Structure 1
Amino acid sequence: MRDGDIIHGLIRGLSVIECFDEEHARMSITDVALRTGLERATARRCLLTLTHLGYATYDGKFFQLTPRVLKLGHSYLAGTPLPRLIQPFLEQLSAATSESTSAAVLDGTDILYVARASTRRVMSINLAPGARLPAYCTSMGRTLLAALPSEEAHAILQRSNLIAYTSHTRSSMTDLLTELAVVAAQGFAVIDQELELGLCSIAVPLHNASGHVVGALNIGAQSARSPTSRMIAQFLPLMRKVQAEVRPLLR
Protein backbone atom coordinates (compact mmCIF):
# COMPACT_ATOMS: atom_id res chain seq x y z
CA MET A 1 0.00 0.00 0.00
CA ARG A 2 1.37 3.40 -0.98
CA ASP A 3 1.59 6.24 1.52
CA GLY A 4 -0.40 8.39 -0.89
CA ASP A 5 -3.34 6.01 -0.48
CA ILE A 6 -3.49 6.70 3.27
CA ILE A 7 -5.70 9.46 4.73
CA HIS A 8 -3.63 10.54 7.70
CA GLY A 9 -6.36 12.84 8.98
CA LEU A 10 -8.65 9.84 9.35
CA ILE A 11 -5.93 8.00 11.25
CA ARG A 12 -5.61 10.91 13.66
CA GLY A 13 -9.37 11.20 14.12
CA LEU A 14 -9.75 7.51 14.89
CA SER A 15 -6.84 7.65 17.34
CA VAL A 16 -8.69 10.41 19.20
CA ILE A 17 -11.85 8.29 19.42
CA GLU A 18 -9.87 5.27 20.63
CA CYS A 19 -8.09 7.20 23.39
CA PHE A 20 -11.35 7.56 25.33
CA ASP A 21 -12.03 4.70 27.73
CA GLU A 22 -13.66 3.94 31.07
CA GLU A 23 -10.95 5.76 33.03
CA HIS A 24 -10.75 8.64 30.55
CA ALA A 25 -14.38 9.30 29.67
CA ARG A 26 -14.07 13.12 29.86
CA MET A 27 -10.89 14.78 28.64
CA SER A 28 -9.53 18.20 27.76
CA ILE A 29 -7.65 18.97 24.57
CA THR A 30 -4.38 18.66 26.48
CA ASP A 31 -5.40 15.27 27.87
CA VAL A 32 -6.19 13.95 24.39
CA ALA A 33 -2.96 15.34 22.96
CA LEU A 34 -0.97 13.57 25.66
CA ARG A 35 -2.76 10.24 25.22
CA THR A 36 -2.54 10.23 21.42
CA GLY A 37 0.84 11.89 20.92
CA LEU A 38 -0.76 14.45 18.61
CA GLU A 39 0.08 18.13 18.57
CA ARG A 40 -2.38 20.09 20.70
CA ALA A 41 -3.69 22.01 17.67
CA THR A 42 -4.26 18.77 15.78
CA ALA A 43 -6.04 17.19 18.74
CA ARG A 44 -8.23 20.29 19.01
CA ARG A 45 -9.27 20.14 15.34
CA CYS A 46 -10.07 16.44 15.61
CA LEU A 47 -12.15 16.95 18.75
CA LEU A 48 -14.06 19.89 17.31
CA THR A 49 -14.73 17.91 14.12
CA LEU A 50 -16.05 14.97 16.14
CA THR A 51 -18.26 17.40 18.07
CA HIS A 52 -19.54 18.92 14.82
CA LEU A 53 -20.42 15.43 13.54
CA GLY A 54 -22.19 14.48 16.76
CA TYR A 55 -19.63 11.93 17.94
CA ALA A 56 -18.59 14.07 20.93
CA THR A 57 -19.88 16.80 23.21
CA TYR A 58 -17.95 19.80 24.55
CA ASP A 59 -18.79 21.79 27.68
CA GLY A 60 -16.13 24.44 27.16
CA LYS A 61 -13.41 22.46 28.90
CA PHE A 62 -13.98 18.74 28.54
CA PHE A 63 -14.92 16.54 25.61
CA GLN A 64 -16.94 13.36 25.94
CA LEU A 65 -17.99 10.79 23.34
CA THR A 66 -21.68 10.42 22.54
CA PRO A 67 -23.69 7.23 21.87
CA ARG A 68 -23.35 8.00 18.14
CA VAL A 69 -19.90 6.38 18.31
CA LEU A 70 -21.68 3.05 18.80
CA LYS A 71 -22.79 3.25 15.17
CA LEU A 72 -19.19 2.57 14.15
CA GLY A 73 -19.14 -0.67 16.09
CA HIS A 74 -22.66 -1.57 15.02
CA SER A 75 -21.54 -1.52 11.39
CA TYR A 76 -19.07 -4.30 12.18
CA LEU A 77 -21.54 -6.31 14.27
CA ALA A 78 -24.21 -5.99 11.58
CA GLY A 79 -21.78 -7.06 8.88
CA THR A 80 -20.52 -10.27 10.48
CA PRO A 81 -22.74 -13.29 11.21
CA LEU A 82 -20.86 -14.49 14.31
CA PRO A 83 -22.51 -12.30 17.00
CA ARG A 84 -26.13 -12.97 15.99
CA LEU A 85 -25.51 -16.67 15.30
CA ILE A 86 -23.61 -17.40 18.51
CA GLN A 87 -25.84 -15.50 20.95
CA PRO A 88 -28.55 -18.20 21.34
CA PHE A 89 -25.84 -20.82 21.89
CA LEU A 90 -24.17 -18.66 24.53
CA GLU A 91 -27.47 -18.28 26.36
CA GLN A 92 -28.12 -22.02 26.29
CA LEU A 93 -24.60 -22.78 27.46
CA SER A 94 -24.87 -20.22 30.24
CA ALA A 95 -28.15 -21.74 31.40
CA ALA A 96 -26.66 -25.25 31.37
CA THR A 97 -23.56 -24.29 33.37
CA SER A 98 -24.89 -21.38 35.47
CA GLU A 99 -21.79 -19.45 34.39
CA SER A 100 -21.08 -16.55 32.06
CA THR A 101 -20.24 -17.30 28.43
CA SER A 102 -18.67 -15.13 25.74
CA ALA A 103 -17.47 -15.04 22.15
CA ALA A 104 -14.61 -12.93 20.86
CA VAL A 105 -12.42 -12.29 17.83
CA LEU A 106 -8.77 -11.31 17.63
CA ASP A 107 -8.10 -7.62 16.97
CA GLY A 108 -4.42 -6.74 16.94
CA THR A 109 -2.94 -7.70 20.31
CA ASP A 110 -6.39 -7.80 21.97
CA ILE A 111 -9.50 -9.88 21.91
CA LEU A 112 -12.72 -8.04 21.11
CA TYR A 113 -15.90 -9.33 22.74
CA VAL A 114 -18.69 -9.68 20.16
CA ALA A 115 -21.32 -11.54 22.20
CA ARG A 116 -21.94 -12.45 25.83
CA ALA A 117 -24.46 -14.15 28.10
CA SER A 118 -23.76 -13.19 31.69
CA THR A 119 -25.26 -14.87 34.75
CA ARG A 120 -23.16 -12.84 37.16
CA ARG A 121 -20.21 -10.46 37.08
CA VAL A 122 -17.00 -12.48 37.26
CA MET A 123 -14.43 -9.72 36.73
CA SER A 124 -13.80 -6.36 38.32
CA ILE A 125 -14.29 -4.75 34.90
CA ASN A 126 -17.56 -4.87 33.00
CA LEU A 127 -17.44 -7.26 30.06
CA ALA A 128 -19.89 -6.68 27.23
CA PRO A 129 -19.79 -6.69 23.41
CA GLY A 130 -17.13 -4.16 22.47
CA ALA A 131 -14.95 -4.84 25.53
CA ARG A 132 -11.28 -5.62 24.94
CA LEU A 133 -8.74 -7.66 26.88
CA PRO A 134 -5.12 -8.62 26.14
CA ALA A 135 -4.95 -11.75 24.01
CA TYR A 136 -1.81 -13.25 25.59
CA CYS A 137 -3.32 -13.80 29.06
CA THR A 138 -6.94 -14.71 28.21
CA SER A 139 -8.31 -18.11 27.29
CA MET A 140 -9.98 -16.87 24.11
CA GLY A 141 -6.87 -14.91 23.18
CA ARG A 142 -4.59 -17.91 23.51
CA THR A 143 -7.05 -20.03 21.57
CA LEU A 144 -7.05 -17.52 18.72
CA LEU A 145 -3.28 -17.00 18.80
CA ALA A 146 -2.72 -20.77 18.76
CA ALA A 147 -4.74 -21.00 15.53
CA LEU A 148 -2.37 -18.63 13.71
CA PRO A 149 0.85 -19.54 11.91
CA SER A 150 3.60 -19.54 14.55
CA GLU A 151 5.40 -16.57 12.98
CA GLU A 152 2.25 -14.44 13.08
CA ALA A 153 1.47 -15.38 16.68
CA HIS A 154 5.06 -14.61 17.67
CA ALA A 155 4.85 -11.18 16.02
CA ILE A 156 1.64 -10.37 17.92
CA LEU A 157 3.22 -11.38 21.21
CA GLN A 158 6.22 -9.18 20.43
CA ARG A 159 3.89 -6.20 19.99
CA SER A 160 2.01 -6.99 23.20
CA ASN A 161 2.66 -5.35 26.55
CA LEU A 162 3.40 -8.55 28.47
CA ILE A 163 2.38 -7.57 31.99
CA ALA A 164 2.17 -10.04 34.88
CA TYR A 165 -1.28 -9.11 36.20
CA THR A 166 -1.02 -11.68 38.99
CA SER A 167 1.62 -14.04 40.34
CA HIS A 168 0.08 -16.73 38.10
CA THR A 169 0.39 -14.82 34.82
CA ARG A 170 2.52 -16.37 32.10
CA SER A 171 4.18 -13.30 30.66
CA SER A 172 7.52 -14.46 29.24
CA MET A 173 7.80 -15.08 25.52
CA THR A 174 9.18 -18.59 26.07
CA ASP A 175 6.34 -19.61 28.40
CA LEU A 176 3.70 -18.15 26.11
CA LEU A 177 5.00 -19.84 22.96
CA THR A 178 5.13 -23.16 24.82
CA GLU A 179 1.58 -22.61 26.08
CA LEU A 180 0.33 -21.79 22.58
CA ALA A 181 1.78 -25.07 21.30
CA VAL A 182 -0.08 -26.93 24.06
CA VAL A 183 -3.33 -25.11 23.24
CA ALA A 184 -2.97 -25.89 19.54
CA ALA A 185 -2.39 -29.58 20.29
CA GLN A 186 -5.27 -30.04 22.75
CA GLY A 187 -7.75 -27.71 21.04
CA PHE A 188 -8.68 -25.63 24.08
CA ALA A 189 -7.14 -23.14 26.50
CA VAL A 190 -7.57 -22.71 30.24
CA ILE A 191 -6.61 -19.69 32.31
CA ASP A 192 -6.18 -20.08 36.05
CA GLN A 193 -6.09 -16.67 37.75
CA GLU A 194 -3.67 -15.18 35.22
CA LEU A 195 -5.72 -12.10 34.39
CA GLU A 196 -7.37 -11.54 37.75
CA LEU A 197 -7.10 -13.40 41.05
CA GLY A 198 -10.03 -15.71 41.62
CA LEU A 199 -10.98 -15.90 37.93
CA CYS A 200 -10.72 -19.01 35.76
CA SER A 201 -11.83 -19.51 32.18
CA ILE A 202 -11.81 -22.08 29.41
CA ALA A 203 -12.07 -21.45 25.66
CA VAL A 204 -12.35 -23.33 22.39
CA PRO A 205 -11.98 -22.02 18.83
CA LEU A 206 -14.99 -21.44 16.61
CA HIS A 207 -14.56 -22.67 13.03
CA ASN A 208 -16.59 -21.76 9.98
CA ALA A 209 -17.86 -24.32 7.47
CA SER A 210 -14.53 -24.15 5.63
CA GLY A 211 -12.57 -25.02 8.75
CA HIS A 212 -11.09 -21.58 9.37
CA VAL A 213 -11.02 -20.22 12.93
CA VAL A 214 -13.26 -17.12 13.01
CA GLY A 215 -13.60 -16.59 16.74
CA ALA A 216 -13.48 -18.20 20.15
CA LEU A 217 -16.01 -19.28 22.77
CA ASN A 218 -15.38 -19.25 26.51
CA ILE A 219 -16.84 -19.81 29.94
CA GLY A 220 -15.56 -17.70 32.81
CA ALA A 221 -16.17 -18.28 36.51
CA GLN A 222 -14.84 -17.75 40.00
CA SER A 223 -12.11 -20.31 40.70
CA ALA A 224 -13.59 -21.22 44.10
CA ARG A 225 -16.84 -22.24 42.40
CA SER A 226 -15.55 -23.68 39.13
CA PRO A 227 -11.84 -24.54 39.15
CA THR A 228 -10.16 -25.44 35.87
CA SER A 229 -10.42 -29.16 36.63
CA ARG A 230 -14.21 -28.87 36.76
CA MET A 231 -14.25 -26.75 33.62
CA ILE A 232 -12.33 -29.37 31.66
CA ALA A 233 -14.36 -32.30 32.99
CA GLN A 234 -17.84 -30.77 32.88
CA PHE A 235 -17.85 -27.67 30.69
CA LEU A 236 -15.54 -28.67 27.84
CA PRO A 237 -17.87 -31.42 26.45
CA LEU A 238 -20.73 -28.89 26.34
CA MET A 239 -18.50 -26.36 24.59
CA ARG A 240 -17.42 -28.99 22.06
CA LYS A 241 -21.08 -29.60 21.28
CA VAL A 242 -21.67 -25.88 20.63
CA GLN A 243 -18.49 -25.77 18.56
CA ALA A 244 -19.81 -28.55 16.30
CA GLU A 245 -23.32 -27.09 16.03
CA VAL A 246 -22.12 -23.62 15.09
CA ARG A 247 -19.57 -24.68 12.48
CA PRO A 248 -21.96 -25.43 9.57
CA LEU A 249 -23.85 -22.18 10.24
CA LEU A 250 -20.81 -19.95 9.76
CA ARG A 251 -20.27 -19.75 6.01
Structure 2
Amino acid sequence: MTQDRSRDRIQSVERAVAVLRAFGGHDATSSVSELATRVALPRPVVRRILLTFEHIGYVRSENGRWSLTARILELGAGYFAASSLAEIAQPAMADIVARTGETCSIGELDLPDVIHVARVEERRPLPDAVRVGTRLPAHATAVGRVLLAELPEEELESYLSRPREAYTPATLVDADGLRRHLRDVRLRGFDLSIEELHPGMIAAAVPITVDGRAVAGLTVSSTTLRSNAALLEQAVVPLLADAAERIAREFRAANPGRFRA
Protein backbone atom coordinates (compact mmCIF):
# COMPACT_ATOMS: atom_id res chain seq x y z
CA MET A 1 0.00 0.00 0.00
CA THR A 2 1.14 3.51 -0.79
CA GLN A 3 2.23 5.46 2.29
CA ASP A 4 -0.16 8.26 3.22
CA ARG A 5 1.54 11.59 2.55
CA SER A 6 -1.53 13.81 2.66
CA ARG A 7 0.34 16.55 4.53
CA ASP A 8 2.76 16.88 1.62
CA ARG A 9 0.10 17.26 -1.07
CA ILE A 10 -0.86 20.57 -2.68
CA GLN A 11 -4.64 20.84 -2.88
CA SER A 12 -4.67 23.42 -5.66
CA VAL A 13 -2.63 21.10 -7.89
CA GLU A 14 -4.98 18.22 -7.16
CA ARG A 15 -7.95 20.38 -8.10
CA ALA A 16 -6.31 21.56 -11.33
CA VAL A 17 -5.52 18.01 -12.40
CA ALA A 18 -9.09 16.95 -11.56
CA VAL A 19 -10.42 19.63 -13.93
CA LEU A 20 -8.15 18.41 -16.74
CA ARG A 21 -9.26 14.83 -16.16
CA ALA A 22 -12.89 15.92 -16.25
CA PHE A 23 -12.53 16.49 -20.00
CA GLY A 24 -11.86 12.77 -20.55
CA GLY A 25 -14.64 10.47 -21.72
CA HIS A 26 -17.11 13.30 -22.39
CA ASP A 27 -18.03 15.58 -25.29
CA ALA A 28 -15.26 17.52 -27.02
CA THR A 29 -16.35 20.70 -25.26
CA SER A 30 -17.71 21.42 -21.79
CA SER A 31 -19.11 24.39 -19.92
CA VAL A 32 -17.80 25.62 -16.59
CA SER A 33 -20.96 24.34 -14.92
CA GLU A 34 -20.55 20.86 -16.41
CA LEU A 35 -16.93 20.64 -15.32
CA ALA A 36 -17.75 21.95 -11.85
CA THR A 37 -20.38 19.23 -11.45
CA ARG A 38 -17.97 16.50 -12.54
CA VAL A 39 -15.24 17.52 -10.10
CA ALA A 40 -17.55 18.68 -7.29
CA LEU A 41 -15.93 22.11 -7.03
CA PRO A 42 -17.44 25.62 -6.99
CA ARG A 43 -17.85 27.22 -10.40
CA PRO A 44 -15.58 30.20 -9.56
CA VAL A 45 -12.77 27.82 -8.60
CA VAL A 46 -13.14 25.83 -11.82
CA ARG A 47 -13.27 29.06 -13.86
CA ARG A 48 -9.99 30.31 -12.36
CA ILE A 49 -8.35 26.96 -13.06
CA LEU A 50 -9.52 27.07 -16.67
CA LEU A 51 -8.27 30.62 -17.12
CA THR A 52 -4.88 29.54 -15.80
CA PHE A 53 -4.71 26.62 -18.21
CA GLU A 54 -5.84 28.91 -21.02
CA HIS A 55 -2.96 31.26 -20.22
CA ILE A 56 -0.41 28.46 -20.61
CA GLY A 57 -2.10 27.06 -23.70
CA TYR A 58 -3.68 23.80 -22.52
CA VAL A 59 -7.35 24.77 -22.99
CA ARG A 60 -9.35 27.20 -25.11
CA SER A 61 -12.77 28.81 -24.79
CA GLU A 62 -15.27 29.47 -27.55
CA ASN A 63 -18.89 30.58 -27.09
CA GLY A 64 -18.80 29.63 -23.44
CA ARG A 65 -17.54 26.09 -24.12
CA TRP A 66 -14.10 24.88 -23.08
CA SER A 67 -11.93 22.29 -24.81
CA LEU A 68 -8.42 20.91 -24.63
CA THR A 69 -5.77 22.06 -27.11
CA ALA A 70 -3.15 19.99 -28.89
CA ARG A 71 -0.57 21.25 -26.41
CA ILE A 72 -2.07 18.90 -23.80
CA LEU A 73 -0.36 16.07 -25.69
CA GLU A 74 2.97 17.36 -24.32
CA LEU A 75 1.99 15.91 -20.94
CA GLY A 76 1.91 12.39 -22.35
CA ALA A 77 4.92 12.65 -24.62
CA GLY A 78 7.28 11.24 -22.02
CA TYR A 79 5.10 8.19 -21.52
CA PHE A 80 5.15 7.40 -25.25
CA ALA A 81 8.92 7.75 -25.58
CA ALA A 82 10.96 5.13 -27.42
CA SER A 83 11.53 3.21 -24.18
CA SER A 84 7.83 3.13 -23.23
CA LEU A 85 5.79 -0.03 -23.09
CA ALA A 86 3.30 1.31 -25.64
CA GLU A 87 6.04 2.05 -28.18
CA ILE A 88 7.93 -1.19 -27.64
CA ALA A 89 4.79 -3.32 -27.89
CA GLN A 90 3.58 -1.95 -31.24
CA PRO A 91 5.35 -4.48 -33.52
CA ALA A 92 4.20 -7.46 -31.45
CA MET A 93 0.66 -6.10 -31.31
CA ALA A 94 0.60 -5.51 -35.07
CA ASP A 95 1.73 -9.11 -35.61
CA ILE A 96 -1.12 -10.40 -33.44
CA VAL A 97 -3.63 -8.29 -35.36
CA ALA A 98 -2.28 -9.59 -38.68
CA ARG A 99 -2.54 -13.21 -37.49
CA THR A 100 -5.93 -13.01 -35.80
CA GLY A 101 -7.76 -10.27 -37.65
CA GLU A 102 -8.83 -8.87 -34.27
CA THR A 103 -8.04 -5.78 -32.21
CA CYS A 104 -5.11 -5.90 -29.79
CA SER A 105 -4.65 -3.59 -26.79
CA ILE A 106 -2.50 -3.04 -23.73
CA GLY A 107 -3.98 -1.97 -20.41
CA GLU A 108 -2.44 -0.79 -17.17
CA LEU A 109 -4.17 -1.10 -13.81
CA ASP A 110 -5.35 2.09 -12.13
CA LEU A 111 -7.83 0.84 -9.53
CA PRO A 112 -10.69 0.36 -9.83
CA ASP A 113 -10.14 0.58 -13.57
CA VAL A 114 -7.77 -0.47 -16.29
CA ILE A 115 -6.49 2.25 -18.65
CA HIS A 116 -5.84 1.37 -22.29
CA VAL A 117 -2.40 2.73 -23.19
CA ALA A 118 -1.88 1.16 -26.63
CA ARG A 119 -4.16 -0.22 -29.30
CA VAL A 120 -3.84 -1.67 -32.81
CA GLU A 121 -6.99 -2.30 -34.87
CA GLU A 122 -7.52 -4.45 -37.93
CA ARG A 123 -10.85 -2.91 -38.79
CA ARG A 124 -12.10 0.66 -38.84
CA PRO A 125 -13.12 1.45 -35.25
CA LEU A 126 -16.75 1.93 -34.33
CA PRO A 127 -17.84 5.36 -33.03
CA ASP A 128 -17.90 4.06 -29.44
CA ALA A 129 -14.73 1.97 -29.75
CA VAL A 130 -12.20 1.86 -26.92
CA ARG A 131 -9.34 4.26 -27.58
CA VAL A 132 -6.01 5.01 -25.94
CA GLY A 133 -6.73 6.64 -22.61
CA THR A 134 -10.10 4.95 -22.13
CA ARG A 135 -10.79 3.62 -18.64
CA LEU A 136 -12.75 0.39 -18.20
CA PRO A 137 -13.77 -1.40 -14.99
CA ALA A 138 -11.10 -3.94 -14.10
CA HIS A 139 -13.49 -6.58 -12.76
CA ALA A 140 -15.52 -6.71 -15.99
CA THR A 141 -12.59 -7.10 -18.42
CA ALA A 142 -10.12 -9.90 -19.06
CA VAL A 143 -7.19 -7.48 -19.16
CA GLY A 144 -8.25 -5.97 -15.86
CA ARG A 145 -8.58 -9.32 -14.13
CA VAL A 146 -5.18 -10.65 -15.20
CA LEU A 147 -3.76 -7.59 -13.43
CA LEU A 148 -6.04 -7.87 -10.39
CA ALA A 149 -4.83 -11.46 -10.05
CA GLU A 150 -1.26 -10.21 -9.60
CA LEU A 151 -2.02 -7.71 -6.83
CA PRO A 152 -0.54 -8.21 -3.35
CA GLU A 153 -3.10 -9.83 -1.05
CA GLU A 154 -3.67 -6.75 1.10
CA GLU A 155 -4.29 -4.53 -1.91
CA LEU A 156 -6.57 -7.09 -3.52
CA GLU A 157 -8.65 -7.49 -0.36
CA SER A 158 -9.03 -3.73 -0.11
CA TYR A 159 -10.30 -3.67 -3.68
CA LEU A 160 -12.68 -6.59 -3.10
CA SER A 161 -14.18 -4.85 -0.07
CA ARG A 162 -15.69 -2.18 -2.34
CA PRO A 163 -18.88 -2.64 -4.41
CA ARG A 164 -18.72 -3.31 -8.13
CA GLU A 165 -21.23 -2.65 -10.89
CA ALA A 166 -22.86 -5.39 -12.96
CA TYR A 167 -22.80 -4.26 -16.59
CA THR A 168 -24.44 -7.40 -17.99
CA PRO A 169 -25.95 -10.54 -16.40
CA ALA A 170 -22.55 -12.21 -16.89
CA THR A 171 -20.52 -9.63 -14.94
CA LEU A 172 -18.77 -11.17 -11.93
CA VAL A 173 -19.23 -8.80 -9.00
CA ASP A 174 -19.44 -11.04 -5.92
CA ALA A 175 -16.27 -10.71 -3.82
CA ASP A 176 -15.94 -14.43 -3.01
CA GLY A 177 -16.63 -15.45 -6.60
CA LEU A 178 -14.21 -12.89 -7.97
CA ARG A 179 -11.54 -13.93 -5.47
CA ARG A 180 -11.84 -17.57 -6.59
CA HIS A 181 -11.80 -16.55 -10.25
CA LEU A 182 -8.66 -14.46 -9.80
CA ARG A 183 -6.95 -17.36 -8.05
CA ASP A 184 -7.64 -19.51 -11.12
CA VAL A 185 -6.47 -16.76 -13.45
CA ARG A 186 -3.16 -16.53 -11.64
CA LEU A 187 -2.65 -20.29 -11.88
CA ARG A 188 -3.43 -20.59 -15.59
CA GLY A 189 -1.85 -17.28 -16.63
CA PHE A 190 -4.69 -15.90 -18.76
CA ASP A 191 -8.32 -14.88 -18.60
CA LEU A 192 -11.36 -14.72 -20.85
CA SER A 193 -14.22 -12.24 -20.69
CA ILE A 194 -17.44 -13.34 -22.35
CA GLU A 195 -20.05 -10.57 -22.65
CA GLU A 196 -19.25 -9.22 -19.19
CA LEU A 197 -18.89 -5.55 -20.10
CA HIS A 198 -20.96 -5.29 -23.28
CA PRO A 199 -23.30 -7.86 -24.85
CA GLY A 200 -21.70 -9.52 -27.85
CA MET A 201 -18.13 -8.55 -26.86
CA ILE A 202 -15.52 -11.12 -25.83
CA ALA A 203 -11.80 -10.93 -25.04
CA ALA A 204 -8.72 -12.85 -23.94
CA ALA A 205 -5.80 -11.42 -21.97
CA VAL A 206 -2.45 -12.31 -20.42
CA PRO A 207 -0.17 -10.31 -18.10
CA ILE A 208 3.06 -8.72 -19.30
CA THR A 209 5.40 -9.72 -16.48
CA VAL A 210 8.85 -8.28 -15.83
CA ASP A 211 10.94 -9.64 -12.95
CA GLY A 212 7.89 -11.29 -11.44
CA ARG A 213 5.74 -8.13 -11.57
CA ALA A 214 2.83 -7.58 -13.93
CA VAL A 215 3.44 -4.18 -15.53
CA ALA A 216 0.45 -4.36 -17.89
CA GLY A 217 -1.94 -6.71 -19.62
CA LEU A 218 -2.07 -7.68 -23.30
CA THR A 219 -5.51 -8.41 -24.72
CA VAL A 220 -7.34 -9.33 -27.91
CA SER A 221 -11.00 -8.39 -28.23
CA SER A 222 -13.60 -9.75 -30.62
CA THR A 223 -17.33 -10.36 -30.90
CA THR A 224 -19.54 -13.42 -30.50
CA LEU A 225 -20.23 -13.21 -34.24
CA ARG A 226 -16.55 -13.80 -35.08
CA SER A 227 -15.23 -15.93 -32.22
CA ASN A 228 -16.02 -17.82 -29.03
CA ALA A 229 -14.35 -18.84 -25.78
CA ALA A 230 -12.86 -22.05 -27.17
CA LEU A 231 -11.29 -20.28 -30.15
CA LEU A 232 -9.86 -17.56 -27.96
CA GLU A 233 -8.28 -20.05 -25.58
CA GLN A 234 -6.91 -22.36 -28.28
CA ALA A 235 -5.80 -19.92 -30.98
CA VAL A 236 -5.38 -16.49 -29.38
CA VAL A 237 -4.06 -17.08 -25.86
CA PRO A 238 -0.83 -18.81 -27.07
CA LEU A 239 -0.13 -15.86 -29.38
CA LEU A 240 -0.72 -13.43 -26.54
CA ALA A 241 1.55 -15.38 -24.19
CA ASP A 242 4.42 -15.45 -26.70
CA ALA A 243 3.99 -11.75 -27.49
CA ALA A 244 3.85 -10.82 -23.80
CA GLU A 245 7.16 -12.58 -23.16
CA ARG A 246 8.76 -10.77 -26.09
CA ILE A 247 7.42 -7.39 -25.00
CA ALA A 248 8.56 -7.97 -21.42
CA ARG A 249 12.12 -8.81 -22.53
CA GLU A 250 12.38 -5.77 -24.78
CA PHE A 251 10.80 -3.46 -22.20
CA ARG A 252 13.24 -4.59 -19.53
CA ALA A 253 16.21 -4.19 -21.87
CA ALA A 254 15.09 -0.67 -22.82
CA ASN A 255 14.72 0.38 -19.16
CA PRO A 256 17.73 -1.06 -17.29
CA GLY A 257 17.47 1.46 -14.47
CA ARG A 258 13.85 0.57 -13.73
CA PHE A 259 14.36 -3.11 -13.00
CA ARG A 260 16.72 -4.96 -10.73
CA ALA A 261 19.81 -6.61 -12.13
* Aligned-partner residue type, residue 167 of structure 1: P
Instruction: Provide the rounded CA distance (Å) in 2 between the counterparts of 1:196 and 1:164.
Output: 11
Segment drifting more, 93-102 vs 107-116: 107-116
TM-score, scaled relative to structure 1: 0.92
Q: Residues 123 and 158 (structure 1 numbering): CA distance in 2 closer, same or farther, change over 3 Å? A: farther
Query: Are 1:88 and 2:95 counterparts?
Result: no
1:194 paired residue among 169, 193, 196: 196
Show structure 1 runs of 5+ residues with no match.
Answer: none
Q: What's the CA shift for 1:78?
A: 2.2
* Aligned-partner residue type, residue 204 of structure 2: I
* Aligned-partner residue type, residue 26 of structure 2: E
Instruction: Provide the rounded CA distance (Å) in 1 between the counterparts of 2:148 and 2:218.
Output: 14
Instruction: Provide the rounded CA distance (Å) in 1 between the counterparts of 2:44 and 2:110.
Output: 30
Query: Are 1:127 and 2:130 counterparts?
Result: yes
SS at match of 1:206: strand
Provide the residue aligned with 1:146 in structure 2. Answer: 149
Provide the residue aligned with 1:183 in structure 2. Answer: 185
Instruction: Provide the rounded CA distance (Å) in 1 between the counterparts of 2:126 and 2:196.
Output: 12
Query: Are 1:219 and 2:195 counterparts?
Result: no
- Number of equivalences: 249
Q: What's the CA shift for 1:124?
A: 6.2
1:172 paired residue among 171, 174, 181: 174
Instruction: Provide the rounded CA distance (Å) in 2 between the counterparts of 1:203 and 1:146.
Output: 12
SS at match of 2:114: strand
Instruction: Provide the rounded CA distance (Å) in 1 between the counterparts of 2:80 and 2:159.
Output: 24
1:44 paired residue among 39, 44, 47: 47
* Aligned-partner residue type, residue 239 of structure 2: L
SS at match of 1:57: strand
1:69 paired residue among 72, 83, 92: 72
* Contact 2:113–2:144 (CA under 8 A) maintained in structure 1: yes
Segment drifting more, 129-138 vs 91-100: 129-138
Provide the residue aligned with 2:59 in structure 1. Answer: 56
Instruction: Provide the rounded CA distance (Å) in 1 between the counterparts of 2:27 and 2:250.
Output: 39
Provide the residue aligned with 2:256 in structure 1. Answer: none
Measured against aligned partners, the alpha-carbon deviations of 1:76-115 in whole angstroms (never above 9, x if no partner) come to 2228521111110000011011111111111232111121
* Aligned-partner residue type, residue 34 of structure 1: T
RMSD over aligned CA atoms reads: 1.9
Provide the residue aligned with 1:162 in structure 2. Answer: 164
Q: What's the CA shift for 1:188?
A: 0.5
* Contact 1:77–1:114 (CA under 8 A) maintained in structure 2: no
* Contact 2:83–2:251 (CA under 8 A) maintained in structure 1: no
Instruction: Provide the rounded CA distance (Å) in 2 between the counterparts of 1:155 and 1:50.
Output: 36
* Contact 2:25–2:134 (CA under 8 A) maintained in structure 1: no
Segment drifting more, 112-121 vs 136-145: 112-121
Runs of 4 or more off by more than 6 Å in structure 1? none
SS at match of 2:116: strand
Query: Are 1:20 and 2:4 counterparts?
Result: no
* Contact 1:100–1:119 (CA under 8 A) maintained in structure 2: yes
Instruction: Provide the rounded CA distance (Å) in 1 between the counterparts of 2:81 and 2:40.
Output: 32
* Aligned-partner residue type, residue 102 of structure 1: S
Provide the residue aligned with 2:13 in structure 1. Answer: 10
Provide the residue aligned with 1:248 in structure 2. Answer: 249
